[in-house]
Amino acid sequence: MERESPGARAEPFDVAIVGGGVSGTALLYALVRYTNLRRIVLIEKHEECGQVNSRSNNNSQTLHVGDIETNYSIEKVREVKAGASMVVEYAMRLPVEENKRILFPMQKMVFAVGEREVEFLSKRFSALKEIFPNVRKLDRGEIEKVEPNIIRGRAQHENVLALVNHGHAVDYGMLARSLAARAKDEARERTEIILGAAVKNIRRAEDHVWELDIIRRDGASPHSIRARAVVFDADAYSLLFAKRLRYGHEFSLIPVAGTFFFSRELLRGKVYTVQDPRLPFAAVHGDPDVRVPDATRWGPTARFVPVLEARNWASMLDYFRVSGLAKPKTWLSFIIILLDPLRAWYLIRNIFYEIPLLGKYYFARQVRKIVPTARGRDFTRARGFGGMRLQRVNTNTHELLLGEGKIIGERIIFNMTPSPGASVCLYNAMRDCNIVTQFFGSEFSFDKKKMEAELCEGRSVPLEDPSQKSSYVS
């Protein structure tokens, strides 16, 4: 998409969206297509949309629907499936060539090893079958036919079980750019997209309109955008701006950087393992990479890097600004959370993965749960791959808040959307459309039924926001 000129207009926009990742562009698309707002602007600091966490090398490219995510409750599986299916419905409405650049049909498997995991997965299958009619339970022989490297070299006495389903991988960067382009095509006169422009400050003007100060990357003079309502869809940066406006001071962020390894193609599809609910982002899994042919991408490994954006050391200062590390209760929260025995061992284990030359041999030991014949020499570090997954901490209660977060103020929303935020980007957009139009009373309306007809196969989708629940774990 070409960079747009902001234009000098005194009349404020109805809504300004800060952040051009898949969440921000999904909201732009939904506001343009399903509301009667008059003027909407999206501001993105990069020259293209979808260049940070939505970029294909910064995430696992999984469309999380709940079939292989064993840390999801069955209630959440129903919610996430309904929300994630909207991405598929959107992509299927596109021209074939555009669809192929975004959506990749793929086999998905969750794999259990040992009596405890097998029993858990066998019981879960009955509940999942009601939600996913095509999900299948596979015994050892059937697993070998579907994913032969999982069984090859495995001890005969080891008890195993798998659930397999048809699913999709998604290039979320491509999806973000598609949503932005479709929004612009939908109503060019109502939609403005400003690329290569960073929001440096926001304040409330005397007429109760928000003013956003913008710095252009091309060296153009700084200027301000005025908007009656603002939505931040900028992940951890959303909390930074919230704190500047005196919202969310009880929150800090633990800076988890996800990293990956590559091997030759050891798997035919996505394979996840049974997760521990205390560390739902930690269980090893293997994925075909939609942009790297004939390879399997393995992860996640994790390291603690005090930045807000992967491989952007300039964002370190912003991390310290938002983290609240000057407060003793923040340090106390970090100590309580990270000294949990399971989490502490996880941290120590990941330090070994970072050792030059030897790290891949330590990592291979984890992969052998899935592929018993994996050896250290099979792996290379996926340099340039992996994004930031900054996890919120409530420093008042010393709780680790895994999953999505939202702060709602006076005509302003701050969204923090780690996994599965990209999968449910259009569902989140639906909920925010409802909130935004409510900001204006009866002045504007949201056509929820039209959105459900086009993206939910006509089914009614609840607007209750599970991101407000502490149990909504990613």
CA 190 vs. chain centroid, Å, equals 28
Give 9's pLDDT tier (boundaries 50, 70, 90).
Answer: very low
Which of 395, 428, 444 corresponds to the end of one domain?
Answer: 395
Q: What is the mean pLDDT of residues 211-225?
A: 90
Residue 264 DSSP class: E
Give 466's pLDDT tier (boundaries 50, 70, 90).
Answer: low
Give 470's pLDDT tier (boundaries 50, 70, 90).
Answer: very low
306 and 326 belong to one structural domain: yes
Position 217 scores a pLDDT of 84
Q: Is the pLDDT of residue 8 over 70?
A: no
Position 332 scores a pLDDT of 98
255 and 227 belong to one structural domain: no
Position 6 scores a pLDDT of 46
369 and 408 belong to one structural domain: no
Distances (CA, A) of 82 to 41, 125, 383, 455: 28, 19, 34, 10
Distances (CA, A) of 464 to 108, 233, 279, 400: 29, 19, 26, 22
310 and 325 belong to one structural domain: yes
Indicate whether 283 belongs to any domain. Answer: yes
Q: To the nearest whole percent, how much of the chain has pLDDT over 90? A: 81
352 and 219 belong to one structural domain: no
pTM: 0.94
What CATH number is given to the structural domain containing 33? Answer: 3.50.50.60
Indicate whether 93 belongs to any domain. Answer: no
317 and 388 belong to one structural domain: yes
Indicate whether 121 belongs to any domain. Answer: no
Q: Is the pLDDT of residue 358 over 70?
A: yes
CA distance 292 to 281: 23
Indicate whether 317 belongs to any domain. Answer: yes
335 and 447 belong to one structural domain: no
284 and 427 belong to one structural domain: no
Distances (CA, A) of 309 to 171, 389, 422: 19, 9, 16
CA distance 119 to 126: 12
Indicate whether 363 belongs to any domain. Answer: yes
48 and 197 belong to one structural domain: yes
Give 30's pLDDT tier (boundaries 50, 70, 90).
Answer: very high
Predicted confidence (pLDDT) per residue in 393-430, tens digit: 999 999 998 778 999 999 999 999 766 789 999 999 99
Position 1 scores a pLDDT of 47
Indicate whether 33 belongs to any domain. Answer: yes
Angle of helix 425-439 relative to helix 74-92, nearest 10 degrees, comes to 90
Lowest mean pLDDT among 33-42, 262-271, 389-398: 389-398
CA distance 315 to 278: 29
Which range marks the domain in which residue 202 is found?
A: 13-61+171-250+403-468
Indicate whether 270 belongs to any domain. Answer: no
Give 219's pLDDT tier (boundaries 50, 70, 90).
Answer: confident
369 and 443 belong to one structural domain: no
Position 347 scores a pLDDT of 86
Q: Is the pLDDT of residue 17 over 50?
A: yes
CA distance 385 to 296: 13
> Which value, in Å, is the radius of gyration of the alpha carbons in the chain?
22
Indicate whether 102 belongs to any domain. Answer: no
Which of 372, 395, 418 corresponds to the end of one domain?
Answer: 395
318 and 439 belong to one structural domain: no
Do 308 and 388 meet the contact criterion of CB atoms below 8 Å apart?
yes
377 and 435 belong to one structural domain: no
Q: Is the pLDDT of residue 5 over 70?
A: no
220: Cβ contacts below 8 Å, ≥ 6 apart: none
Give 3's pLDDT tier (boundaries 50, 70, 90).
Answer: very low
Position 433 scores a pLDDT of 98
CB atoms within 10 A of CB 19: 28
CA distance 407 to 387: 23
> How many domains, the chain?
2
Q: Is the pLDDT of residue 277 over 80?
A: no
CA distance 354 to 363: 9
Predicted confidence (pLDDT) per residue in 58-95, tens digit: 999 999 999 999 988 999 899 899 999 999 999 999 99
Which of 371, 395, 419 corresponds to the end of one domain?
Answer: 395
